[in-house]
Amino acid sequence: MLGKDYEGQDCSLARALETIGERWTLLIVRDAFYGVRRFSDFQAHLDVPKAVLSDRLGGLVDDGVLERRPDPDRGGRHVYELTAAGRDLWPVVYAMLTWGARHRSPSGRVFRHAACGTALDARGACGACGTTPPAADVVMSLRRGARTLRDDPVAVALRAPHRLLEPVATRPPA
C-alpha cells in the first residue's frame, strides 16, 4: 500500500500534504467550512464509503485540524468542527476552488465579504474594503443560473446563501 508520509522530503509542503493530501481529506475540510458537522451529513454530501470517512475524520482530529465533540442535539453522537489550525486552511481551500474554476470547470458558487456584499477576488480579498476576510466573514451563494447537480440534504441546504462555518441546517435522520 502506498504510504501517506514523505519522510525523505525536508519541506513544510510535504508536512502539510501528510495531513491534507489524502483523497477526500480536503473535500471534508471544504465541507467543514460550509458548516457540515455531522458524520451523516458528510456522508450524504460526499458519497464516501463510511470506513473511509471515519478514517479521514479520525486523522484530521489526530492532526489537530478538526475537533470532535458531543453533538448538543443528539445524545451519543458527535460533531466535527474546524480548530484554529483548521480554519487557517481557508486560503488553501479558496485558492484551490479558484484554480479549479479557472483551469478545470467554472464554479457555480460565489463568495462574498459578509460586511459589504462584494464578491471576493481571486486571492480571497475584498476589493471594496481592502481586507482579506477570514472564512467566518464570508457568505457563499449559488451563482445566478448555476445548475446544482446534487440533491442530498446538505446540497439542498446550501442552495440558500450561507455564511461559512455556521452549522448547515439539515434534518437529522430519524
Q: Which residues bind Zn ion (CB under 5 A)?
A: 113, 116, 118, 126, 128-129
CA–CA distance, 137 with 172 (Å, rounded to integer): 27
Q: Pick the closer one to Zn ion by CB: 85 or 129.
A: 129
Q: Pick the closer one to Zn ion by CB: 64 or 117.
A: 117
CA atoms within 13 A on the CB side of 120: 27
Q: Pick the closer one to Zn ion by CB: 56 or 113.
A: 113
Q: What are the grid coordinates assigned to 16, written together? A: 502539510
Least separation in angstroms between CB 45 and Zn ion = 29
Least separation in angstroms between CB 32 and Zn ion = 24
DSSP 127-172: TTTTB---GGGEEEEEPTT------SHHHHHTTS-EETTSPP--PP
Q: Pick the closer one to Zn ion by CB: 33 or 111.
A: 111
CA–CA distance, 8 with 99 (Å, rounded to integer): 28
Least separation in angstroms between CB 138 and Zn ion = 10
Least separation in angstroms between CB 132 and Zn ion = 10
